[in-house]
Amino acid sequence: MYLSAHILKRLEEKRKHLNSLRPLPAVAVRKLKEHFEVEMTYNSNAIEGNSLSLRETFLVLNEGITIKGKPLKDHLEATNHKEALDFLYDLVDHEKKITFSEHLIKSLHQLVTQNIEKEWAGRYRNASVRITGTPHQPPDALDIPPLMNDLVRWVGDQQGKMHVVELAAVLQHKFVFIHPFFDGNGRTARLIMNVLLLQKGYPLAIILKNDRKRYYRVLQEADKNNYKPLVEFVAKAVERSLDIYLDALMPSSKTKEKYITLKKAAKNSPYSAKYLNLLANKGLLEAHKEGRNLVTTEKAIQRYRDKRQRKRA
């Protein structure tokens, strides 16, 4: 098991809490879905170098506006990614059990790269590639079909054995390690990760552009078979989405926990903002990012203190 027990416990409690609120209000769900589609499209594309801002991505997707001075390719990447997400949501909504297959992977890649890499959209590469900024050399093109076949079989074997967050995180790495396509591997990897998460009742997990450097570091650690940093990194992304959903869907304001910055939280706690940041990065304190800032709640800090006291007793 790669997930720490305390993180796993929090994820399961929050997922169960979210499920207890079902059926969810249709209007609220639609707004959350729109919010997450824009946010994931922006972040996933920005990680790969897309120049559209979050606001510009919203305008392209929701208003059909062309952003002056921005490349056509950046606009197409945004609309393509949203189409891939719509396909993914539709699949989850209408399939009781999604068959994870090479066909599904190729379909998502085809949607992500259509109108950009027409010749290779949905097709495995036929030549070697090098990835800038990493020592990893992807497998030869001739090895891709058997490796992808093995990957799909591995996912089938591991379902029910590994927690879905662990499985989704490790799958993402194994996919980018193979690097089966010429382009669009990162965006496709983050989509197929969410196939598994959405089917198990978790909301869309988003890797933030602001966490790009750390994201690449944990992927490189996974290259050395050290999966724990990557799994816990993905788990925090999952927890952030759960927090956003629960905050929006809680029926009473009395039961909500107000999120505040670590700096503000430190003023009313025995811990410094630096120490709270350390706890958050270790997964010991419930916290997630809003923009560039980590936020938590006073109740989350109290839960951490109570847990420490119980251990000392």
Catalytic residues: 179
In contact, 266 and 272? CB cutoff 8 Å: yes
Instruction: Determine the Cα–Cα distance for residues 134 and 115; give it in Å rounded to an integer.
Output: 28
Sheet of strand 260-261, all strands in order from the earlier edge strand to the far edge: 260-261, 293-296, 288-290
Q: How far apart are CA 212 and CA 286, in angstroms?
A: 21
The three-state DSSP-derived secondary structure of the chain is CCCCHHHHHHHHHHHHHHHHCCCCCHHHHHHHHHHHHHHHHHHHHHHCCCCCCHHHHHHHHHHCCCCCCCCHHHHHHHHHHHHHHHHHHHHHHHCCCCCCCHHHHHHHHHHHHCCCCCCCCCCCCCCCCCCCCCCCCCCCHHHHHHHHHHHHHHHHHHECCECHHHHHHHHHHHHHHHCCCCCCHHHHHHHHHHHHHHHCCCCCCCCCHHHHHHHHHHHHHHHCCCCHHHHHHHHHHHHHHHHHHHHHHCCCHHHCCCCEEHHHHHHCCCCCHHHHHHHHHCCCCCCEEECCEEEECHHHHHHHHHHHHHHHC
CB neighbours (10 Å) of residue 291? 10
* Locus of tokens 């927690």: 163
